[in-house]
Structure 1
């Protein structure tokens, strides 16, 4: 799909209703409050095509969708520059997102620290922090 840019809108429409249906179903059953839905990946895409071959990986600006499970509803956190290339407001690292998700699951990510060769390690790296601004 990298080079078929017009197809992206079609794919977005194809996923929009099922995701909305999942959230509506979870809410109707009283499960959304206890279910964390995460839609995203560890990088975005550059806002431009590279030599008509598509778009490149972009770790500097990307979208992650979170719903239910203790996150604020109808809330947007952060912003990119005018062309969507780089986060300029509310920038967080993937380690921060992982620390936040573990926190929402009731797990203290700092307790997952181990020491090896004189250095501390953890799943969220030692720099990961919980992003309290997105928690309801």
Structure 2
């Protein structure tokens, strides 16, 4: 899994993170990986959903935040419909 074939690197199939404050429920785990911790198997969260959730916790509407790029108004969370991950909130 490392670029040089030795040691450890990022796992592209099962990430973990730690969050605190700002409406996050303490002591909770969300989602799960397989028995060896390689692949996400439960409550998968796309990075755009995670970003939308963080923006929501900061009081910002991710659908309203746009920037002009190559003649288009782009959203920070991408062009597809993105939902806030309610399971991370209090």
Q: TM-score, normalised by structure 1?
A: 0.56
The alignment of Structure 1 onto Structure 2 pairs a total of residues equal to 88
Shift of 1:114: 5.1
Considering only CA atoms, is the larger Rg found in Structure 1 or Structure 2?
A: 1
Once superposed, what is the RMSD of the aligned Cα atoms?
2.4
Q: Distance in 2 between matches of 1:113 and 1:129?
A: 17
Return structure 1 stretches of 4+ with deviation > 3 angstroms: 113-120
Consecutive unaligned residues of structure 1, counting only runs of 5 or more, are 1-45
Shift of 1:115: 6.8
- Give the number of the structure whose residues are more often helix, by fraction: 1
Indicate whether 1:111 and 2:64 are aligned: yes
Consecutive unaligned residues of structure 2, counting only runs of 5 or more, are none
Indicate whether 1:130 and 2:84 are aligned: yes
Shift of 1:122: 1.0
**Which digits, 9 at most, give the CA deviation of each residue in 1:73-109, with x for residues without a partner?**
1111000011111110010011111110000000000
The worse-fitting range, judged by mean Cα deviation, of 68-77 and 107-116 is 107-116
Q: Paired residue for 1:89, among 32, 39, 42? A: 42
Which structure is higher in RCO with an 8 Å CA cutoff and minimum separation 6?
2
Which residue pairs with 2:16 in the alignment? 63
Asked if structure 2 preserves the Cα contact closer than 8 Å seen for 1:77 and 1:90, the reply is yes
Q: Distance in 2 between matches of 1:122 and 1:59?
A: 24
